[in-house]
Structure 1
């Protein structure tokens, strides 16, 4: 029996992870494709197509397929293995071909067009109009108007892109897992926090290297090592290992894959009548074209660069005075920045970590959501999970009604990619028979508990947890009719607003008082420390802003340049980031080779959206600051106009309904300390 082909007989119809085996996926995907084709054929045979029998029927088709595919690809990111990666190479082309079969089907498109052509005479509400527009556009943007040769070429491109994206991600994961910095001398650990040393000793024991310490390229190991290790040569060694991932000319090298991806994306865009891939992408964004994006990034750079230069000059002088350092290098920034922050604000991660024990911080996130939106979270061990580290919660609303299932997955492991993300196993939608509530997951890579210490978070990890939980709120509070317009299914440069605004609560005393307690004494975080956190919030904001802009500019350069002109990636990256460089580039490093956001994720020609959404989040949070960070009316307005609405209406309309006006950049410039 294949559980993926059955109804899920589990609490809230959650995925029966305990029953699912790798061999179940391919048959389930194949069966789902067959079932979806039968549903499509029914729509094609309708004599009088209308909104419900065609557009809604198309929206509802392929549910079994979507369920199996969501499960498979979420596991491929969070709990993969050789077999899943091998299956991905077989499954991805199948899904790509099926998607092409649907969107290039002339008869189906003719049915959709008949409905679209009479849209002015249809009595549709706003959400229905959006679905009709989105459905029609998705056919156009995926080749419905191409001739047979064009359609054939588009199919080939999509097949190749799905394969190359997977290969890119696999190479990055394998490079991350492969590298170990093994330390034998205790003196080389100088400066490192006790908890990190213990974790490195534990990692060495697990790898059969007793009496040594193992550091890796996983975030909870790499970032604190770069921040605290006094041994500069070892910092350099780890920095170079991290920044030369997948560009060493071996079988895990991503350079040719990147060039091929860029050529294919450009060819796809031109085939559809766009001048480049960025123009194709930005047709469906708040920033409507490349010029607007570049103008936005360059304007922000003009404001941020002077502050960033001052910060680097100050850091250089500090390192020279402290350690007679002749020249600051990139592997020195985190180390000296942490020391300078401590000197200026008497606050650093080691001072703060005892107040942010993981379980208490999770409770703090839950309490913040309860105070804002009336949500409650109950751990439920009867909900199956895909790894023992994962915890499942039932989420209820103010009235005690079931709202969502939340999976929380917080620790690194070999089968899990680096970073942090939110994902959905099942979306929200309404039919005449019932409402389907969402199953949402947040995945992070925090330090695991050791034999003597619980998992203690850096302040940056606290903001990461709040960020991903903001995305989760967008998914859990979804209140739409159609799944493709529900929750996080919004314009890409709007999707970061719910996540980034939620980070703001981390800096507020009324929020920190809810959960920040010393893990040993239970003492609340001192008010003086909260003040220092707030003062330090702008520390190196110029540098951080310029860094984000540099990635946005690199992304735009890749997707607006003729790919035939991109021969040497090292030279191309250097030129694209030149205007944002604050220190000398390090020869041999290539950020692009592991830039998974744009070459494997969905951020191609969209990385700017992190900064774009910061304008929105700073402006939106100003209203909470004016009225009180837990003001019920403001929270209800944000929930009803932003979080619950998903993609029912254009984001500009939704934002103005919440804020009463269009967003202004003033709040971001003020918050980041970029005012001249």
Structure 2
């Protein structure tokens, strides 16, 4: 026996050298160690996770054993968990609390993510195994859920180009990498345009017309920006739309409106116009490689709508009614302007201002009178309360749990037996480091593999803060947005499926908005407003007379709202249906398309192309989805109304079973029919928007 000298024990690396993203997350519920994470940690952590996932995939693809569900599909579902965990932390923080350092990492890593995913989906060895299982699926004795997951994996690989030639696959890799770069740059440009603009309200004349609650919010925004003694309007929607609604300074309204609609359309570093043109051209090329005439045809194949013609039928049917109603609304606004001594034409920056005056005169309803009753904390409690009554959930705020920003609030979600369901985070206030808009995302999705995984879900919004010492007060649209995003959150929190790939909101794009839009309905019920719409100073409930006026005016200005939305959806479809020459001038394309559909001059698309974030990311040729889902949500809520109780337990139980907890276990149309007992009818949508004949 030969004696060998012992190596000295390896020294533990200094704490500063330990990457908190790759170390074990020891926080309660396995939450990310937000307080330890710095921008510099992401790139090495992601690179390590890419390597690990690549090794896992290689092991599956090179397995000499005959393909089985366990050694191929289940193995794929179990792979990449570390990458998914780190990536979710990065992309969530980069979108809601960004810094120049994080943006640089995003620009660097976005094409890496695309290349990594494309490499997996174009691996001919993997696809051969999946295709073998798919062809034998009838004889494999799979459960319904297992079969659904197999079919979804097969379709994903096919739509990614698994059947293409080597040369075509090579081009797909180039397209995907370039698109990832373009989308990231587009998003960052919109954020920069929003960060760079502000309207300082110097004195009382600049504040003219603004109710006290909006004045206080403007003063708080100015104070946060260290502009003392003044007010400030930003391009956060809750700030600029409130200003456009109430400011009697037409010149300032025009300034704010122009800044709002021209995001992404300025010459210079943040110009998104050529970015959009290139992205559309690349997606069109991809669709042609896949054998489709247009990207719209390709995109819609895996949706409820299936074809551009089906989408067009829905949009055109609503469009004609909306334009007619908007024309009637315009005449009323013009009459109001004339009566007040304004002989100017109604311009886009005038619409909200005069609409509010007409609404007040016609319904004795003043939107600003609602805000004192719509305190943010109470609206959060209202959203939670509905989830308790419908699904038996309880929410316990946890100030001790980690968060990525001091303003983020965290709740543990429990079921009626007191068992842990998941974690919900709320990031409610606008700030310069946050993308505009509102969204739901997940730091972790639910599944039952291995020991199972509970969800960690977040809602990100952009509400204006109240004045110092005062609570944040919402408009009714703000409160509806809160309910909408919480509906998405419930879709993630209540998920009860076995596999990560079909968890929560991983459903068809024109089905995913059903749980969110349906949840909005409960906000408007007397049961919710009576309990939670309490005056922030007196604690008294919203007077019944005010609630009645709110309900009476609910369909007011719906022509405008529907035109604003539907025009965006029609332009999106036109953009991605073009299969001829590349679109060079996207603003010219937008103008011509709006002219062709008969867009009223006084209304502007809700999202103009240079800042239309939906259609640059997950909703390309898909913005129609909100309207498609609205057909279902209006019809679905009628199920509760028909039962005579908006919290009817048997109906809520079916809603939970077939919609909120079901993920993508079954075809979305079948899921809806299982809940409702029949396909949806459009009647509810037209009634909801006040467009029924």
User: Is the CA contact 1:573–1:590 (under 8 Å) kept in the aligned structure 2?
Assistant: no
Superposition pairs of residues 205-244 of structure 1, within 5 angstroms? 205-244=223-262
8 Å contact 2:564–2:603 — kept in the other structure?
no
3-state SS of paired residue (2:532)? coil
Q: Is residue 307 of structure 1 aligned with residue 312 of structure 2?
A: no
* 8 Å CA contact retained: 2:568, 2:607: no
Q: Which runs of 5+ in 1 are unaligned?
A: none
User: Counterparts of 1:139 and 1:472 in 2: how far apart (Å)?
Assistant: 28
Match of 1:43 in 2: 60
| TM-score normalised according to structure 1 size | 0.97
Q: 2:681 aligns with which of 664, 668, 671?
A: 664
1:82-138 CA distances to partner (integer Å, 9 max, x unpaired)? Answer: 000000111111111111111111111111112112111111122111111111111
Distance in 1 between residues matched to 2:299 and 2:683, nearest whole Å:
27
1:357-372 equivalences under 5 Å are 357-372=375-390
Q: Is the 8 A contact 1:367 1:514 kept in 2?
A: no
Give how far 1:492 is off.
Answer: 0.2
Aligned-residue offset at 1:570: 2.1
Aligned to 1:113: 131
Q: 1:193 aligns with which of 211, 218, 222?
A: 211
Distance 1:585 1:12 in 2: 48
Describe how 1:333-412 pairs up with structure 2 within 5 A.
Answer: 333-412=351-430
- Residue 252 of structure 1 corresponds to 270
Q: Which of the numbers 618, 623, 648 marks the counterpart of 1:631?
A: 648
Unaligned runs of 5+ residues in structure 2 are 1-17
Asked if the contact 1:263–1:563 (Cα under 8 Å) also holds between the matched residues in 2, the reply is no
Q: Which residue of 2 aligns with 1:6?
A: 23
SS of the equivalent of 2:423 reads strand
Deviations 1:402-433 (A, max 9, x none): 001000000011110111111111001012x4
Does the 8 Å contact 1:195/1:453 carry over to 2?
A: no
* Residue 570 in structure 1 maps to residue 570 in structure 2: no
Written as runs of structure 1 = structure 2, the 5 A alignment for 1:524-535 is 524-535=541-552
**Structure 1 CA distance for aligned equivalents of residues 333 and 535 of structure 2:** 31
Change in 2 beyond 3 A, CA 1:207/1:524: closer
Following superposition, the deviation at residue 77 of structure 1 comes to 0.7
Aligned to 1:174: 192
Aligned position for 2:574: 557
TM-score under structure 2 normalisation?
0.95
8 Å contact 1:555–1:598 — kept in the other structure? Answer: yes
SS in 2 for 1:318: helix
1:23 paired residue number: 40
Whether 1:60 aligns to 2:78 is: yes
Q: Partners of 2:120 and 2:226 in 1: how far apart?
A: 52
Q: 2:661 is matched with which residue: 644, 648, 665?
A: 644
In the alignment, which residue of structure 2 is the partner of 1:293? 311
Cα deviation for residue 590 of structure 1 reads: 8.7
Report the number of matched residues. Answer: 673
> Do residues 99 (structure 1) and 117 (structure 2) align?
yes
- Corresponding residue number in structure 2 for 1:323: 341
What residue number does 1:78 align with? 96
State yes or no: 1:547 paired with 2:564. yes
Alignment partners' CA distance in 2, 1:106 and 1:655: 36
Aligned counterpart, 1:441: 458
Checking the alignment, whether the CA contact within 8 Å between 1:392 and 1:405 is kept in structure 2 is yes
Q: CA deviation at 1:584?
A: 4.7
8 A contact 2:172–2:286 mirrored in 1: yes
**Aligned counterparts of 2:22 and 2:393: Cα–Cα separation in 1:** 33
Give the secondary-structure state (helix, strand or coil) at the position aligned to 2:506: coil
Residue 547 of structure 1 contacts residue 580 of structure 1 at CA under 8 Å; is this kept in 2?
no
Q: Bigger shift: 126-135 or 168-177? A: 126-135
Q: How does 1:124-203 map to 2 (within 5 A)?
A: 124-203=142-221
Equivalent residue in structure 1 for 2:447, among 413, 421, 429 = 429
Supply the distance in 1 between the matched residues of 2:476 and 2:602 (Cα, whole angstroms): 29
What residue in structure 1 maps to residue 15 of structure 2?
none
Check 1:202–1:518 CA distance in 2 against 1; reply closer, same or farther (3 A cut).
closer
Alignment of 1:480-519 (within 5 A): 480-519=497-536
